[in-house]
Amino acid sequence: MVYRWDLDKTYLHTEFDTLRDLVRTAFEPASRKRTYPGAGTLLREIRATDPAAIFILSGSPEQMRSVLEAKLRLDGIRWDGFTLKPSLRNLVRGKFRFVRDQLSYKLTALLRSRTNVSPETEEILFGDDAEGDAFIYSLYADIAAGRVSQELLMKIAEAADVYPEDIPEIVRIAARVPRRDAVRRIFIHLERGSSTGGFGDFGRRVCPFHNYFQPALVLLGDGALDAQAVLRVGADLVVAHTFNPEVLVASFDDLRRRGYLGKAVVDRMADVSETIAPSTFGQASGPLRSLFSAMEAARADLPEEVQIDPVTEDYLALFAKDRARAKAGKRRARWTRESP
């Protein structure tokens, strides 16, 4: 399994909606950068599963590499590849749109990286709702699976206002990717507060989430994490970030209602339920026991298996809808920041 993580608004609190935000972010030292609650713990638990690789793909400029790497080291994160955006190089070449463009940058980086891993490798991706991560990741997944033609890819690139001279390179790299349905999950952090319903067209392969306990539960159901790892993520949220039992239960209930969890999640938690004690989890043991009780009570209503369906919507129509969603999210974030 290969994991691919975005940084800004997925792992790190980052503001980049205005020029002032960009300048402040560029000069902020590693010690001042903030990680979303539970993100570091989940990523360390993922590393403990000994995955084939953890690749970080960020839209931050290449000039921020040293400070971003320093922040990850402070958090105890180990990675295998770290790709940053060559913004300055493209600005010098007069490609000013590249600074805001995510589709051509991220899609090209994903496709190029895919050509360098074993064709049998499966993938799990993490992004956010600030830009077009759900769309880009889904498009990448379906290119690799052979469900997107070269003609459709070119039309999408044109709709995304990709520089015409860059489109042939994207198509060429896409043609080199071994065809395999390799992307198992796409997790989208709802940093903008987007509605989960706004991602329905992406299928259940895309899982929007409110906090990092939620992807931990889904990964448990998928067999990618064990129950002890999930309990440690929950305990971190309770102890270090003052999550109460109601938040953990609500996180589970939200995923249950949206159809992301099956009976296996409860059964795997039951196997380790006896370890939920103060001697192991300290003050988090009470909230974790409350969570487990709620999960047991809901088991009968969960399906035996969870179907992971991909995108069924036309990609050109989906691109327009997702761009409108992202713009609405930016307006909502700006209004929230400017409100008294």
Q: What CA–CA distances, in Å, run from 317 to 102, 128, 137, 156, 322?
A: 18, 20, 16, 10, 9
Contact assessment for residue 23 and residue 63, using Cβ atoms and an 8 Å cutoff: no
96 pLDDT higher than 50: no
Contact assessment for residue 292 and residue 243, using Cβ atoms and an 8 Å cutoff: no
Band of pLDDT at residue 101, cut at 50, 70 and 90:
low
Mean pLDDT, all residues of the chain: 90
Cα(325)–Cα(16) distance, integer angstroms = 18
**Could you give the strand order of the β-sheet that contains 123-128, starting from the edge strand earlier in sequence?**
81-85, 53-61, 2-5, 123-128, 183-189, 206-209
Percentage of the chain with pLDDT > 70? 89
Task: Give pLDDT, residue 314.
Answer: 92
Question: Token match 């402070």: residue?
Answer: 74
Task: Give pLDDT, residue 21.
Answer: 53
94 pLDDT higher than 80: no
Band of pLDDT at residue 175, cut at 50, 70 and 90:
very high
Does the predicted TM-score (pTM) go above 0.95? Answer: no
pLDDT tens-digit map of 287-336: 999 999 999 999 999 999 998 998 988 999 999 999 888 778 777 666 65
pLDDT tens-digit map of 279-290: 999 999 999 999
Task: Give pLDDT, residue 24.
Answer: 58
What's the DSSP call for residue 82? Answer: E
> What letters, b where the CB count within 10 A reaches 16 and e where it falls short, cover 293-308?
ebbeebbeebeeebee
Q: What CA–CA distances, in Å, run from 20 to 25, 97, 135?
A: 9, 19, 28
**Which of the residue ranges 71-75, 157-161, 290-294 would you say has the lowest mean pLDDT?**
157-161
Cα(166)–Cα(112) distance, integer angstroms = 14
